[in-house]
Amino acid sequence: MGYNGYLIDLDGTMYNGSELIETARDFVSELERKGIPYVFLTNNATKSQEEAVQKLLDMGVKTSLENMYTSAMATASYIRENHRGASAYVIGTPSLKKILENAGITLTEKNADLVIMGLDPEVDYGKLKRAALLIGNGAGFIATNPDKRFPTEEGIIPGSGALQQVLIETTGVRPLIIGKPNASILDGAMGQLGLKKSEVALIGDNYDTDIMTGINGGVDTIHVNTGVSPVEEVMKKEASPTHTIDNLSEWSV
């Protein structure tokens, strides 16, 4: 079954860490050749839109800025609409902090209105302690994404969602999740894609984020067995993906 457009995950779908999934590059090349619109929809908030596109270009995947929508971009959009002018303690990469500053927040480590958490490769006890104390004192808790597992070329490592559990267990407060499977990131990506949900399929490896985004949001899904969620695990779920394939060489556009 063909679709008029695609939402495509990155980590575990296009690549694992620095290791490109060759069949995924060929798939995107075919979309480009046929002029079929697509948007990369990623929960990875460690990179800016430009950095995320550049990583693909460096891997030989032809794409551009209008084809990228990240959870960092979705979080920035939420901040602009709901918390412009607020102060925030941010656990995340320098790129995420810059994106959020540009969205209108003031970075601080004391008396913050918000704690915003993304994946931080340099997270330590001190950062988690500071965040827990701020949340305990009434700061709002926002997370870019809930991914507990993160695929790399070395294997599966802890994602932002796993580290969020430290703060959840400590404070008893669950964060507002912006990224997949939240509807807000899907709406942002669909707006960028410019198609109706009935015309689109969402491709991803992670059942809890990618596939559930489609199931919750009324978009057909294609699970690829190249990342976090093994197909054996996926097929045991109560709600199944629309399609399940081993890799993108099996899908014809």
Which amino acids are annotated catalytic?
9, 11
pLDDT number for residue 1: 65
Q: Average pLDDT, whole number, for the chain?
A: 96
What are the tens digits of pLDDT across the range 67-102?
999 999 999 999 999 999 999 999 999 999 999 999
CATH topology for 85-177 is Rossmann fold (3.40.50)
Question: Domain 5-71+180-250, CATH 3.40.50.1000 — does that match?
Answer: yes
Q: Would you call 32 exposed, middle or buried from its count of C-beta atoms within 10 A (0-12, 13-18, 19+)?
A: middle
DSSP letters of 61-127? ----GGGEEEHHHHHHHHHHHH-TT-EEEEES-HHHHHHHHHTT-EE-SSS-SEEEE---TT--HHH
What are the tens digits of pLDDT across the range 170-195?
999 999 999 999 988 999 999 999 99
CB-CB contact of 59 with 11 (8 Å) = no
**Position 2 confidence tier, pLDDT thresholds 50, 70, 90:** confident
- Which residues are paired to 204 by β-bridges? 223
What are the tens digits of pLDDT across the range 100-126?
999 999 999 999 999 999 999 999 999
pLDDT of residue 19 exceeding 80: yes
Structure tokens at 70: 């990240």
Known binding-site residues equal: 9, 11, 180, 205
Q: Do domains 5-71+180-250 and 85-177 have the same CATH topology?
A: yes
What are the tens digits of pLDDT across the range 28-61?
999 999 999 999 999 999 999 999 999 999 999 9
What are the tens digits of pLDDT across the range 187-225?
999 999 999 999 999 999 999 999 999 999 999 999 999
pLDDT of residue 16 exceeding 80: yes
pLDDT number for residue 54: 97
Domain boundaries, the chain: 5-71+180-250, 85-177
